[in-house]
Amino acid sequence: MILAVAVIGTALAGCTVGSGSATLATATNLAVVPTLHDALPQAIKDAGVLRFAGDSHPPYRTVAQDGMVTGIDADFQAAIGQVLGVRTQTVVVAGLPAALQGMLGNRYDAFNGPVKATAEREKQFDTITWMTTRTAYVFPVGSTAGIARVEDLCGKRIAVVTASVVEEQLGKLSRFCTDHRHPATQTVGLDDTDATLLATRSGRADAAGMTEAAAIDVTQRQGGNKYVTQTEAQGATKDDLALYVPKSSKLGPVLQQVFEELFRNGTYVGIMSRWGLNQVSVPKPVLNAATSG
C-alpha cells in the first residue's frame, strides 16, 4: 500500500489537482517515510492530497499565467508530499486572511507562509518555523523618490501586503520616523507582493515592503530594483517565519517531523541554497516557536 502511494507522490507531486489548484514545478525526488504517512490524519490519507493555500508572493510562490507555481514553496511542498507519500495541491488565495480563514474552514490543510509565528495565532494554529528574516523595502533603480537609506522612507508611500508581518514592521518604522521628527510613512495595503511591486512601477507607491528573502529575489533574480533593510534601531525584529496548520487537524506534529527529515537528509539546505537564502535559514525547525519557549 505504501509503495503504491510512494509512486503517486513522486510522479504526481507536480500535477494539478482539483479546481482552483495550480501546478507545481519542481525536481525534488524523495522516498516516502512510511511512519510519517501512517501518522497523517485519516482524511488526508483517504484523499491522498495535502491542500495548501498560497498567495502570490515571490520568491516563495510565483504564479504564471498558465497556473504554474514556482518558488521556494513549490520546492518544499513537493518535498513534503513525497516524504508523506501524498500529492500536494496549491489553491491560490488573496492574501493571509483568506489563507487563515480557509484553513479554519477546512478548505485548505496548510499555508507555508512566510507568516510570523505569534502567540496569538498559535491559539488556533500550530506553526513550524523554517526560516527567519528582517524587513526590506524595494524600489526601482530609476526611482526619483530619493531613497538611499531606510530613513529616506519617512513620509513616503510604502506598499505592503495587508495583515502581513511586513505591515507590522512598517508601523514600527513609521513610529521611528515620527519619534525623530520626520513625517510618518504612508501605508498602501495590497493583496500580494506582485501587487506591491506593480504599485512601485506605476507610481502609486515609492517602495514595496517585503521580507528580506523576497527582496533578495526581486533584486538579484529579476533585476531593475534596489532595496534597503530596516534595522533594530528602526524598530525591526528578526522574525520567525513559519508554516501554519490548524491545531484541530493534528497535522502540526507530523509536519514538524517531516521538516526534521528534510533538515536531516540535506533537502532543506539544498532548497535554501538553490534560492540564495542561506542567510535567512535556521539550524532546525521549531514547532510553535512563539509559545514553546
Boundaries of every domain in the chain: 2-131+241-292, 135-234
The tens digit of pLDDT for each residue in 174-218 reads 999 999 999 999 999 998 888 999 999 999 999 999 988 888 888
Distance of alpha carbon 280 from alpha carbon 83, whole angstroms: 24
pLDDT of residue 44: 96
Query: Residue 8: is its pLDDT beyond 50?
Result: no
Query: Residue 10: is its pLDDT beyond 50?
Result: no
The tens digit of pLDDT for each residue in 64-123 reads 888 788 889 999 999 999 999 999 999 988 888 899 999 999 999 999 987 889 999 999
Distance, C-alpha 42 to centroid of its chain: 26
pLDDT of residue 31: 93
Task: Name the residue with higher pLDDT: 132 or 65.
Answer: 132
Domain 2-131+241-292 homologous superfamily, CATH: Periplasmic binding protein-like II (3.40.190.10)
Residue keyed to cell 517531516: 258
Sheet strand arrangement including 186-190: 186-190, 157-161, 207-211, 135-140, 225-229
Residue 242 vs residues 148, 205, 264, 267, 281: alpha-carbon distances, Å: 31, 28, 18, 17, 12
pLDDT of residue 24: 54
Distance of alpha carbon 217 from alpha carbon 43, whole angstroms: 36
Q: For the chain, what is the mean pLDDT? A: 87
C-alpha grid cell, residue 237: 525584529
Distance of alpha carbon 147 from alpha carbon 140, whole angstroms: 10
Stretch 45-54: mean pLDDT: 95
The tens digit of pLDDT for each residue in 230-281 reads 998 998 888 888 999 999 999 999 999 999 999 999 999 999 998 888 888 9
Domain 135-234 homologous superfamily, CATH: Periplasmic binding protein-like II (3.40.190.10)
pLDDT of residue 217: 80
Best CA proximity match to 142, nearest among 228, 215, 222, 200? 200
Q: How confident is the model at residue 3 (pLDDT cuts 50, 70, 90)?
A: very low
DSSP conformational letter for 95 = S
DSSP conformational letter for 156 = S
Q: In CATH terms, are 2-131+241-292 and 135-234 the same topology?
A: yes
Distance of alpha carbon 242 from alpha carbon 40, whole angstroms: 20
Distance of alpha carbon 84 from alpha carbon 130, whole angstroms: 18
C-alpha grid cell, residue 158: 510604502
CB of 13 closer than 8 Å to CB of 56:
no
Beta-carbon contacts of 39 under 8 Å, excluding residues fewer than 6 positions away, are 253, 254, 257
CB of 253 closer than 8 Å to CB of 288:
no
Stretch 22-27: mean pLDDT: 54
pLDDT of residue 23: 54
